[in-house]
Structure 1
């Protein structure tokens, strides 16, 4: 089995950035193109969807409410290859412009996602995504 290359890591990093851009521009088609057809998504509020199409449909509701002015800024990306064709990716980003239930602007805050990428027919596709609010470390 071939070993991952610097090109593999670069392709995954580019996919992470493209997913961020798709969020910031509300580009559903771009997100779907970056994902495997059977990809799982778990949002920061615990909603689990089992395809990119179901995920973008679900997030449209949030984009018309608390996320209507939200944008992401990536802070850190860490990639670990489990196999040459599978990578676990941890991404920390800052979300700003999010509204609370009363419609008041929340301060920018970090979120953390774990993503599973699988190389299929030469392309790195998002296969699983789980987003969490990032809290201060316990001392």
Structure 2
């Protein structure tokens, strides 16, 4: 009986420690997403190395694929200087799924305000969703890949999941 209680105590302690670490990791990742949003809203992406890996990649909303931090930072800053300089991004929700102790998938919902394309087209504000991959390097969570899409409100009405039985 005494051994059973000791084993149970050890298992509960390990479970509690794991849950605490997972909560700390989720909070750390959410903080990194906030850093990305802050860069957007300041229109200054020179600090991306603080929340992205050097080999990060990004597929933007229209399918452009940037393959390392230098390209991601340059292209993002280019568009913020030329197209997004008056936009704001609002964090509408972050969902973190820890895959293993050094890898996490994040779904990040946001709202990006109206902007004007280089050829003068006004694009209305939209809800977007991004799939982000984070890795833990030297104790810090960094984004290593991302892709975002506009949430199409017309198509969303036809999502089969809305009609799926429980």
Same fold, TM exceeding 0.5? Answer: yes
Q: What is the distance in 2 between the residues matched to 1:65 and 1:30?
A: 19
Structure 2 equivalent of residue 121 of structure 1: 138
Higher relative contact order (CA 8 A, sep 6+): 1
Match 1:97 to one of 101, 114, 118 = 114
* 2:68 is the alignment partner of 1:51: yes
The structure whose residues are more often helix, as a share, is: 2
Question: Scaled by the length of structure 1, what TM-score is found?
Answer: 0.89
* 2:54 is the alignment partner of 1:34: no
Question: Gaps spanning 5+ residues in structure 1: where?
Answer: none
Higher mean alpha-carbon deviation, 61-70 vs 79-88, is at: 61-70
How many residue pairs match? The answer is 138
Question: Gaps spanning 5+ residues in structure 2: where?
Answer: 1-16, 160-166
Q: What is the distance in 2 between the residues matched to 1:13 and 1:116?
A: 12
Higher mean alpha-carbon deviation, 61-70 vs 37-46, is at: 61-70
Secondary structure of 1:41's match?
Answer: strand
Rg (Cα) greater in structure: 2
1:56-95 residue CA offsets vs partner (Å, 9 max, x unmatched): 2112332233322111001011111111211000001000
Secondary structure of 1:28's match?
Answer: coil
Secondary structure of 2:74's match?
Answer: helix
Give the alignment's Cα RMSD to 1 decimal: 1.8
Match 2:149 to one of 128, 132, 137 = 132
Question: Scaled by the length of structure 2, what TM-score is found?
Answer: 0.76
Runs of 4 or more consecutive aligned structure 1 residues displaced over 6 Å after TM superposition: none
